[in-house]
Structure 1
Amino acid sequence: MSNRNHHVVYPLNHFTVLDIVGKDAAAIVHNVTTNEIKSLKAGESGNPGEGRETFITDVRGKTIGHGYVIRHDFGFRFLGAGDQAETLAAHLDKYTIREDAVPRAMTDSYQSLILPGGIDPKVVEGLVAGHSVVLYSTTILGPGTLWCLVPAEGYEKVCGWLAQKDIELADENHFHQARVAAAFPWYFVDLDEKNLPQELDRDDLAVSFTKGCYLGQETVARLDALGQVQRKLVRWMIADCVPPVGTTLDADGKTVGRLTSVAADGNGSIALGYARRTHFEPHSTAEGRDETSGRTFTATVT
Structure 2
Amino acid sequence: MSDSISWAPSPLTTRIEVNGPSHVRFLQGLCSNDVVALGVGVACEAYVPTVQGKVLAHGYLLKDESRVVFAGLGKQATDLLPHLQKYAMIEDVEVIDHGTKVPAILVWGNEAAAWVAQQIGQTDLPAPLRHASFEVEGEPVELFRTTLLEADSFELRGPGVLKLVEGIPSSAESWDTLRILNGFPLHGVDISADHLAQEVNRDNQAISFKKGCYLGQETVARIDAMGHVNKKLVSIAMEPSGEMPELPASLVVEGKEVGRITSLCLADGKWRGLGMIRRGMNAAGSKLTCDLGTVEIVA
TM norm structure 2: 0.86
- AA at the equivalent of 2:145: S
State the match for 1:134 in structure 2. Answer: 142
State the match for 2:96 in structure 1. Answer: 104
State the match for 1:217 in structure 2. Answer: 217
- AA at the equivalent of 2:38: L
Other structure's SS at 2:235 match: strand
Q: Distance in 2 between matches of 1:68 and 1:195?
A: 18
Q: Distance in 2 between matches of 1:58 and 1:159?
A: 39
State the match for 1:284 in structure 2. Answer: 286
Question: Which deviations, in whole Å up to 9, do the C-alpha atoms of 1:89-147 show, x marking residues without a partner?
Answer: 21112222442111101123223322225334331123334263211122110264322
1:85 lines up with 2:64 in the alignment: no
Give the drift of 1:84.
Answer: 1.8
State the match for 2:192 in structure 1. Answer: 192
Give the drift of 1:11.
Answer: 1.9
1:208 lines up with 2:208 in the alignment: yes
Other structure's SS at 2:296 match: strand
1:274 lines up with 2:276 in the alignment: yes
| Structure 2 counterparts to residues 1-302 of structure 1, below 5 A | 6-12=4-10, 15-42=13-40, 49-116=41-108, 118-129=110-121, 130=136, 132-142=140-150, 144-151=152-159, 154-160=160-166, 163=167, 167-171=168-172, 173-241=173-241, 242-289=244-291, 296-302=292-298
Give the drift of 1:297.
Answer: 1.9
Question: Which deviations, in whole Å up to 9, do the C-alpha atoms of 1:197-230 show, x marking residues without a partner?
Answer: 1001100000000111000000000001002411
Aligned pair in 2 of structure 1 residues 14, 38: CA closer, same or farther (>3 Å)? closer
Give the drift of 1:270.
Answer: 0.1
Other structure's SS at 1:91 match: helix
Give the drift of 1:14.
Answer: 6.7
- AA at the equivalent of 1:191: I
Structure 2 gaps, min length 5: 122-135
Check conservation: 1:127, 1:133, Cα contact below 8 A: no
Other structure's SS at 2:82 match: helix
Aligned pair in 2 of structure 1 residues 127, 87: CA closer, same or farther (>3 Å)? farther
**Corresponding residue pairs, total:** 279
Q: Distance in 2 between matches of 1:155 and 1:137?
A: 15
Other structure's SS at 1:108 match: coil
Q: Distance in 1 between matches of 2:112 and 2:179?
A: 20
Other structure's SS at 1:133 match: strand
- AA at the equivalent of 1:219: T
Check conservation: 1:67, 1:78, Cα contact below 8 A: yes
Give the drift of 1:13.
Answer: 5.8
- AA at the equivalent of 1:34: S
Other structure's SS at 1:32 match: coil
Check conservation: 2:259, 2:275, Cα contact below 8 A: yes
- AA at the equivalent of 1:51: A
State the match for 1:45 in structure 2. Answer: none
Q: Distance in 1 between matches of 2:10 and 2:89?
A: 35
Question: Which deviations, in whole Å up to 9, do the C-alpha atoms of 1:18-62 show, x marking residues without a partner?
Answer: 1101011001111111001112122xxxxxx10100000111111
Q: Distance in 2 between matches of 1:112 and 1:196?
A: 31
Check conservation: 1:56, 1:64, Cα contact below 8 A: yes
- AA at the equivalent of 1:264: L
CA RMSD of aligned residues (A): 2.1
Q: Distance in 1 between matches of 2:221 and 2:94?
A: 29
Q: Distance in 2 between matches of 1:211 and 1:133?
A: 33
Q: Distance in 2 between matches of 1:126 and 1:77?
A: 26
Aligned pair in 2 of structure 1 residues 34, 187: CA closer, same or farther (>3 Å)? same
Structure 1 gaps, min length 5: 43-48, 290-295
- AA at the equivalent of 1:96: A
- AA at the equivalent of 1:212: G
Check conservation: 1:287, 1:299, Cα contact below 8 A: yes
State the match for 1:293 in structure 2. Answer: none
Q: Distance in 2 between matches of 1:279 and 1:230?
A: 10
Check conservation: 1:65, 1:84, Cα contact below 8 A: yes
